[in-house]
């Protein structure tokens, strides 16, 4: 939970105690440093764990170290202990949220997903056997939607993902404008729409922007691909597009679609950091493998809000359908009520598409007329125009 880690001891009114400083511990190594007393984040009360928050840490080999500390006020989320330690910790004032082994995911995870984690086993089995597919299957069951343990686990998971996303924006993305690329999932890999979306991600990343997408297939995959391969040469970039075009879509086979992407990644094992923010709500849309970091949510409403909020450098909307139109007007609502200082560019790519096929532009224009957001909306036809719009 990186955002909480920034909380310093808070000033209190006379007669009130100060809140303990929060020390986030997400690895055994972090615990070892804290327990050894050598870290600058450790408070003067070296034996106290008050304010220490452990998140999904395996502490089975740290019983002696734990017993040498005072656990009162410590919080343990989904941690593992040797036999008897949970009882010992609780008796001394620790708060323990247990692991939930019946769930097909870690509700307390401390990091974003990597594609290899969600697609684990794809090289030897069908997509339906991967963690991503199994988690989606679980999310459709009545127990996940109605029973307390399921809804609580999903809520805790989404909170953990939000915290892990903070770490990305306070780390690799820090100091860079994040530009979102939204668009439809149906763009075939051999289409001009897909190629232009990939070129857009590539140009944005080369201009120094961090690239974020909805994390799915189609235009979203293309933008993540372009950002990932933004440091590769034109020949390599074109070669990747040609290889992917052999499997046009995730329909009818997610397995074949994902394996084609995995083959490209095998040829380009390292690429530029970028992020996809998908959801299990749209189970028919698998996450793409070219987002180096995947913030996947159960709650689509939370995911949409987070996705728009994170794109402080503006959002480029490629042709899409219901989901893309929803994102346009959700973003428009933010800009409608924004102050001039917090306005972010909205760029719709494709004049004919957004004025005739799905005429979102006239409504957006009418909504913006006479307001500060009028200067922040743009209708363009090319990748270059779109990049200039968010740069300005």
pLDDT grade for 3, boundaries at 50, 70 and 90: very low
Cα dihedral across residues 39, 44, 50, 51: positive or negative = negative
Answer whether the bond into residue 373 is a cis peptide, omega within 30°: no
Written out in words, the top-level CATH class of the domain with range 177-391 is alpha beta
pLDDT grade for 22, boundaries at 50, 70 and 90: confident
Better pLDDT: 45 or 141: 141
The predicted-structure confidence for 208-229, as pLDDT tens digits, reads as follows 999 999 999 999 999 999 999 9
At a CB cut-off of 8 Å and minimum separation 6, what does 249 contact?
A: 186, 188, 189, 217, 257
pLDDT grade for 4, boundaries at 50, 70 and 90: very low
pLDDT grade for 39, boundaries at 50, 70 and 90: very low
Mean per-residue pLDDT, 35-50: 61
Phi, psi of 166 (to 5 degrees): -55, -40
Place of tokens 């006479």: 370
Mean per-residue pLDDT, 179-200: 97
pLDDT of residue 219: 97
Q: The tokens of 205 are what? A: 């990343």
Phi, psi of 312 (to 5 degrees): -70, -20
Between β-strands 23-25 and 210-213, what pairing exists: parallel, antiparallel or unpaired?
A: unpaired
Phi, psi of 48 (to 5 degrees): -90, 140
Nearest to 80 by CA among 64, 102, 96: 96
pLDDT grade for 2, boundaries at 50, 70 and 90: very low
Residue 220 · residue 214 · CB < 8 Å: yes
Nearest to 204 by CA among 307, 274, 270: 274
Q: How far apart are CA 82 and CA 70, in angstroms?
A: 17
pLDDT of residue 293: 98
pLDDT grade for 10, boundaries at 50, 70 and 90: very low
**Does position 290 have pLDDT exceeding 60, yes or no?**
yes
**Does position 135 have pLDDT exceeding 60, yes or no?**
yes
The predicted-structure confidence for 93-104, as pLDDT tens digits, reads as follows 999 998 887 899
- Mean pLDDT of all residues in the chain? 91
Range in 141-145, 170-174, 374-378 with the lowest mean pLDDT: 141-145
**Does position 86 have pLDDT exceeding 90, yes or no?**
yes
pLDDT of residue 41: 43
Nearest to 5 by CA among 169, 167, 113, 172: 167
Helix (H, G, I), strand (E, B) or coil at 301: helix
Q: How far apart are CA 175 and CA 299, in angstroms?
A: 29
Range in 43-47, 55-59, 110-114, 306-310 with the lowest mean pLDDT: 43-47
pLDDT of residue 40: 42
Residues of the chain with CATH 3.40.50.450: 177-391
Query: Is the backbone of residue 365 left (phi > 0), alpha (psi -120 to 50) or beta?
Result: alpha
The predicted-structure confidence for 315-361, as pLDDT tens digits, reads as follows 999 999 999 999 999 999 999 999 999 999 999 999 999 999 999 99
The predicted-structure confidence for 148-182, as pLDDT tens digits, reads as follows 889 999 999 999 999 999 999 999 999 999 999 99
Residue 173 · residue 293 · CB < 8 Å: no
pLDDT of residue 369: 97
Strands (DSSP E) along the chain, which ranges?
23-25, 52-55, 75-77, 95-97, 178-182, 210-213, 275-276, 293-294, 315-317, 346-349, 377-380
Residue 365 · residue 359 · CB < 8 Å: no
Which ranges of 171-253 does DSSP label H, i.e. alpha helix? 192-206, 219-228, 234-244
Q: The tokens of 141 are what? A: 């069951």
> pTM for the whole thing?
0.87
pLDDT of residue 56: 92
Mean per-residue pLDDT, 7-13: 33
**In angstroms, what CA-CA distances link 96 with 52, 55, 72, 82?**
12, 10, 11, 14
Q: How far apart are CA 377 and CA 355, in angstroms?
A: 14
Place of tokens 């809520």: 155
pLDDT of residue 392: 74
pLDDT of residue 37: 52
**Does position 14 have pLDDT exceeding 80, yes or no?**
no
């Amino acid at each position: 939970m990186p955002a909480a880690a920034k909380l310093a001891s808070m000033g209190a009114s006379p007669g009130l105690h100060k809140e303990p400083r929060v020390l986030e511990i997400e690895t055994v190594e972090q615990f070892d440093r804290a327990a050894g007393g050598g870290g600058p984040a450790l408070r003067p009360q070296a034996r106290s764990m008050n304010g220490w928050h452990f998140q999904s840490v395996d502490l089975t080999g740290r019983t002696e170290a734990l017993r040498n500390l005072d656990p009162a006020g410590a919080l343990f989320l989904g941690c593992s202990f040797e036999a008897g330690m949970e009882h010992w910790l609780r008796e001394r004032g620790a708060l323990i949220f247990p692991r939930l082994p019946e769930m097909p995911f870690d509700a307390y995870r401390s990091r974003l997903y990597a594609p290899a984690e969600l697609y684990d086993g794809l090289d030897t089995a069908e997509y339906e056997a991967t963690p991503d597919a199994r988690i989606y299957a679980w999310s459709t069951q009545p127990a996940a939607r109605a029973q307390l343990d399921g809804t609580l686990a999903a809520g805790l998971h989404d909170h953990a993902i939000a915290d892990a996303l903070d770490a990305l924006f306070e780390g690799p993305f820090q100091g860079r404008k994040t530009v979102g690329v939204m668009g439809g999932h149906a763009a075939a890999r051999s289409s001009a729409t897909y190629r232009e979306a990939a070129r857009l991600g590539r140009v944005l990343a080369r201009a120094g922007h961090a690239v974020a997408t909805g994390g799915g297939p189609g235009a979203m995959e293309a933008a993540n691909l372009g950002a990932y391969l933004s440091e590769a040469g034109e020949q390599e970039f074109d070669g990747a597009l040609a290889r992917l075009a052999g499997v046009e879509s995730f329909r009818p086979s997610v397995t074949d679609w994902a394996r084609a992407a995995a083959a490209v990644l095998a040829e380009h094992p390292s690429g530029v950091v970028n992020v996809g923010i998908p959801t299990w709500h749209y189970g028919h849309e698998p996450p793409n493998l070219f987002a180096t970091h995947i913030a996947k949510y159960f709650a689509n409403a939370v995911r949409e809000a987070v996705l728009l909020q994170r794109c402080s450098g503006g959002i480029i909307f490629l042709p899409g359908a219901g989901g893309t139109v929803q994102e346009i007007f959700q973003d428009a609502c933010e800009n409608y009520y924004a102050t001039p200082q917090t306005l972010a560019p909205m760029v719709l790519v494709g004049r004919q598409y957004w004025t005739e096929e799905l005429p979102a532009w006239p409504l957006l224009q009418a909504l913006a007329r006479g307001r500060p957001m009028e200067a922040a909306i743009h209708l363009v036809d090319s990748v270059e125009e779109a990049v200039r719009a968010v740069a300005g």
